[in-house]
Amino acid sequence: MAKPDKVAAVAEIADKFRASSAAVVTEYRGLTMAQLSTLRRALGAGATYRVAKNTLVKRAAEDAGVQGLEDLLTGPTAIAFVEGEPVDAAKALRDFAKDNQALIIKGGYMDGRPLSVDEVSKIADLDSREVLLAKLAGAMKGNLSKAAGLFAAPATKVARLAAALQEKRAGGEAPADES
């Protein structure tokens, strides 16, 4: 018979899997509580970092319909459940792992499939959503400026032509062509 506290823990982890957009599985062996607190702060409000027993995580993943994490659940395991932007959390974990060799990223889960360590690193290398939107807006503004110039060019030529005709009628002589 399952103990009530373990059933509650499995239900909580399963809910985290369902509510998160991504999850990153890490090994935290050798990290102090102060370092874990620093990591939690670095992850920000969009992610939670939870230390859990592997058997409970396996059951919770099965309950939530998450498959492919079984191989990652060995040794001391902690999972970063990402509710916000996966890029920001992956960057925070990667940067923390660079500074603290004890944190090992094992893999993750996103969009219904497991992720390898390399895929988590590639996600960390991406620009954040805000940066990508700013780049898109800049590119669109540049294209709109080019279009405005192209649309204004014929009107400018017509205005120059009209001014030249008016000067010709007024002065009797045509000015030299500027184009």
- Give residue 25's pLDDT: 92
- Give residue 79's pLDDT: 92
pLDDT band at residue 70 using 50, 70 and 90 as cut-offs: confident
Instruction: Order across the sheet with 22-27: list the strands.
Output: 47-52, 77-82, 22-27, 104-110, 113-115
- Return the number of other C-beta atoms located less than 10 Å from residue 25's C-beta: 23
pLDDT band at residue 163 using 50, 70 and 90 as cut-offs: confident
pLDDT band at residue 155 using 50, 70 and 90 as cut-offs: confident
- Nearest Cα residue to 43 out of 93, 79, 99, 84: 93
Q: What is the pTM of this model?
A: 0.68
- Judged against a pLDDT cut of 70, whether residue 179 lies above it is answered with no
- b/e string for 46-75 if b means 16 or more Cβ within 10 A? bbbbbebeeebbbbbbeebebeebeebbee
